[in-house]
Amino acid sequence: MSLPTNLQYTEEHEWIDDLGEKVRIGITAHAAESLGDIVYVQLPEVGEQIESGKTCGELESTKSVSDLFAPVTGEVVAVNEDVDDDPAIVNSEPFGKGWLIEVRVTETGPVLTAEQYAQLIGQ
């Protein structure tokens, strides 16, 4: 699995894509593979404030339920409705169409480069 080098990563297996005034957040392919087939996602609502390091949603798979941790602090400005309708997109395209939320950031938590994240997951 190759990791996009333009993204930042967290130890909790989320990725962050800087879009200028906001960031897009999703889970990594490693996390999606570990979870198995994702069948349900619970995401924060537009306008909701999230806090770095705190739980901001859940992903339910055929194996388990996993918390989604906020890698940033800020206001949710968009939620991926496609993932709501078809959670399997997170498995098939975790770094693309499977993004989860967009946030107007006031603070970023600890992040890793692609190289650092690859070392974390043993690649």
pLDDT tens digits, one per residue of 39-92: 999 999 999 999 999 999 999 999 899 999 999 999 999 999 999 999 999 999
- Three-class secondary structure of residue 103 per DSSP: strand
| Predicted pLDDT of residue 63 | 87
Task: For domain 8-120, give its CATH number from 2.40.50.100, 3.40.50.1260, 3.30.450.40, 3.40.50.970.
Answer: 2.40.50.100
Q: Which two tokens stand for residue 29?
A: 């392919």
Report the pLDDT value the prediction gives residue 123, as an integer from 0 to 100: 84
Entry pTM: 0.95
Q: Which amino acid is at 58?
A: E
Which tens digits make up the pLDDT trace of 77-113? Answer: 999 999 999 999 999 999 999 999 999 999 999 999 9
CA angle 70, 46, 91 (to 5 degrees): 55
Structural domain boundaries in the chain: 8-120
CA atoms within 13 A on the CB side of 105: 19
Q: Which residues pair with 27 in a beta bridge?
A: 14
Confirm if 87 and 39 have CB atoms less than 8 A apart.
Answer: yes
